[in-house]
Amino acid sequence: MRDLKAVGKKFVHVMYPRKSSALLRDWDLWGPLVLCVSLALMLQGGSADSKDDGGPQFAEVFVIIWFGAVVITLNSKLLGGTISFFQSLCVLGYCVMPLTVAMLVCRLVLLAGAGTVSFIIRLIVVGAMFAWSTLASTAFLADSQPPNRKALVVYPIFLFYFVISWMILTFTPQ
Amino acid sequence: MATADDLKFQEFDDAANLLAANPDATTISIDEPVEIPKNQHSHRQEPGREEDDELLGTDDSDKTELLAGQKKSAPFWTFDYYQTFFDVDTYQVLDRIKGSVFPVPGKNFVRLYIRSNPDLYGPFWICATLVFTIAVSGNLSNFFIHLGKPTYRYVPEFRKVSIAATTIYAYAWLVPLALWGFLMWRNSKVMNIVSYSFLEIVCVYGYSLFIYIPTAILWIIPQKVVRWVLVVFSLCVSGSVLVMTFWPAVRDDNRRIAVATVATVLLLHALLAVGCLAYFFDAPELDIPAPIIPAHNGTTVITKSH
């Protein structure tokens, strides 16, 4: 119960990102795991004429999220960051939450239809959530970097959430 | 027969005192490197040799190589060893990118920007960006080309991301490895003045790929002429960076081998660009009027059956 409360508190922190250190201090990877699995599950069932041209498989989404988070963490540590390995993984994983919400919204919108209007709605929602994710994770992570290398650390985070947003936006149901 | 005075140990006065007595005498001071004659020499030289000096970077290469030796002293199994490859600030990375996009004729990219501080940040993240840019742009371009056709269903083509990643990372790491090996082998046969470390070659290749990122985005435009103009333009820019880097390293070698090396470097670079364009971007089709063949066949069959 105590762990569930901690996870829930972190979700609230991501929704209203302030520079609090609670997310950084008591890291856990439950939240990122739940988010990653639900995002990968929701990205299933995408259209494909042949198996080769479709959307990402479950394993691909999983690998992209975890491998991407590890690479970004290594990158920030190599550039001289003071954050620990698992703290950074924790922050990056929790900040996937807005994009998971966007995926949910996209699937609901696609139930109504797949025309141009639905595409524009999905584009706006995914774009807004992408900006939210990037800003939230930057707010938590940027302080632990040396000041003249902040942009070098923020850019890979931007690329990471951009790729996830692209996977969400290009999801087309069967 | 020498006099006793000649054999006695004589104290020579301080150089300054001697010079005061005879101001026009040439002096050499052993404390500092001999700088004055070199400057005079370079003023009298033709521009070709000055360009060589700049390309070789002989003025501060000694100092920077000494510094480089002091830097990379951590053993390779520690984290600190790899941290030395990420010892760059934001403005340095931006400067290096700028140098790869606007190559100044005559300036060597390695000597001017890298200066014995090769970083792995630039090559790694430029390659990552290029992989996703090519995959996303290819997908978008195919979507716009086939839009409106009744038989077309949009597919995200996610497999192509892994293919793009393999291709680009293999190019950015294996070609520098081969080139470095080749240059080391030639160095053992012919004494070259300029030689690069493996990381410097990886660095040059990585930064030279940056121009392909905006090129890939512009390849979305479904016009063949535009695409090929972009290929030629980006090839010129990044090719010139590579040529100006590697020409001084092979110039002292056998003429044919030098030209063949530089030509191979350029050929592989061109192959990468053209291959990416051909594989990830469908050819834009011209407007074809609706085929009237079925009706024609029908009438032909009818007439034939008569």
Q: What is the pLDDT of residue B178?
A: 92
* A49 occurs within a structural domain: no
Q: What is the pLDDT of residue B189?
A: 81
Q: Which residue of A has its CA nearest to B126?
A: A156
- The pTM of this model reads 0.76
Nearest CB to A48; choose among B79, B93, B155 = B155
* A91 occurs within a structural domain: yes
* A19 occurs within a structural domain: no
Token pair for residue A112? 């109504």
CB-CB under 8 Å, A78 with B85: yes
pLDDT digits (tens, 9 = 90+) for B177-190: 999 998 888 888 87
User: How near does any CA of chain B get to the CA of A119, in Å?
Assistant: 13
CA angle B170, B174, B180 (to 5 degrees): 155
Give the separation between CA A92 and CA A85, rounded to whole angstroms: 11
CB-CB under 8 Å, B128 with A159: yes
Q: Does B149 touch chain A (CB under 8 A)?
A: no
Q: What is the pLDDT of residue A17?
A: 67
Q: What is the pLDDT of residue B293?
A: 53
Contact A47, A173 (CB under 8 A): yes
Q: Please report how the helices B224-250 and B255-280 are oriented relative to each other, as an axis angle in degrees rounded to 10.
A: 150
Specify which of A48-57, A150-159, B191-200 reaches the highest per-range mean pLDDT.
A150-159
CA angle A160, A73, B81 (to 5 degrees): 130
Q: Give chain B positions within 8 Å (CB) of A76.
A: none
Q: What is the pLDDT of residue B3?
A: 59
Nearest CB to A78; choose among B86, B89, B91 = B86
User: How near does any CA of chain A get to the CA of B99, in Å?
Assistant: 18
Q: Give chain B positions within 8 Å (CB) of A60.
A: 158
Output DSSP code: residue B113. I
* A110 or B191: which leads in pLDDT: A110
Q: Which residue of A has its CA nearest to B82?
A: A78
CA dihedral B222, B141, B213, A53 (to 10 degrees): -140
Q: What is the pLDDT of residue B14?
A: 54
Residue showing tokens 């938590």: A140
In angstroms, what CA-CA distances link A42 with A5, A69, A162? 25, 20, 18
Give the separation between CA B29 and CA B19, rounded to whole angstroms: 12
Q: Does B153 touch chain A (CB under 8 A)?
A: yes
Token pair for residue A52? 């080769």
Q: Give chain B positions within 8 Å (CB) of A162.
A: 132
Contact A51, B155 (CB under 8 A): no
Number of H helices and E strands in chain B, helices first, is: 15, 0
Q: What is the pLDDT of residue B146?
A: 83
CB-CB under 8 Å, B136 with A172: no
Count of C-beta atoms within a 10 Å radius of residue A64: 19
Token pair for residue A28? 């856990």
Q: What is the pLDDT of residue B142?
A: 87
CB-CB under 8 Å, A78 with B155: no
* A17 occurs within a structural domain: no
Q: What is the pLDDT of residue A124?
A: 94
CB-CB under 8 Å, B158 with A55: yes
Residue showing tokens 């670079």: B269
Q: Mean pLDDT score of chain A, rounded to an integer?
A: 84
Question: pLDDT above 70 covers what percent of chain A?
Answer: 89
Q: Is A46 in a helix, a strand, or coil?
A: strand
Output DSSP code: residue B162. H
Q: What parts of chain B have a pLDDT lower than 50?
A: 31-70, 288-289, 296, 298, 300-306
pLDDT digits (tens, 9 = 90+) for A58-99: 888 888 899 999 999 999 888 888 888 888 888 898 889 999
Q: What is the pLDDT of residue A52?
A: 56
Q: Does B132 touch chain A (CB under 8 A)?
A: yes
CB-CB under 8 Å, A166 with B86: no
Which range of residues forms the domain containing residue A109?
2-12+24-44+54-169
* A70 occurs within a structural domain: yes
CB-CB under 8 Å, A152 with B90: yes
Please name the amino acid found at residue B269.
H
Q: Count the domains in chain A.
A: 1
In angstroms, what CA-CA distances link B215 with A4, A71, A85, B3? 48, 26, 36, 85
Q: Which long-range contacts (CB under 8 A, 24 or more apart) does B172-178 make?
A: B172/B123, B172/B127, B172/B202, B172/B205, B172/B206, B172/B209, B173/B202, B175/B205, B175/B268, B176/B201, B176/B202, B176/B204, B176/B205
Distance linking the first and last C-alpha atoms of chain A: 39
Q: What is the pLDDT of residue B214?
A: 93
Which residues share a beta bridge with A58? none
Mutate to test the interface with B, among A53, A82, A106 (most CBs of B within 10 A): A53
Contact A94, A30 (CB under 8 A): no
* A145 occurs within a structural domain: yes
Give the separation between CA B103 and CA B234, rounded to whole angstroms: 12
Q: Give chain B positions within 8 Å (CB) of A149.
A: 88-90
* Inter-chain CB pairs, A–B, below 8 Å: 68
CB-CB under 8 Å, A155 with B155: no
CB-CB under 8 Å, A54 with B90: no
Q: What is the pLDDT of residue B44?
A: 42
Nearest CB to B125; choose among A46, A155, A162 = A155
pLDDT digits (tens, 9 = 90+) for B93-110: 888 888 888 888 877 777
* A116 occurs within a structural domain: yes
CB-CB under 8 Å, A156 with B156: no
* A157 occurs within a structural domain: yes
Token pair for residue B114? 């890298």
Give the separation between CA B153 and CA B171, rounded to whole angstroms: 33
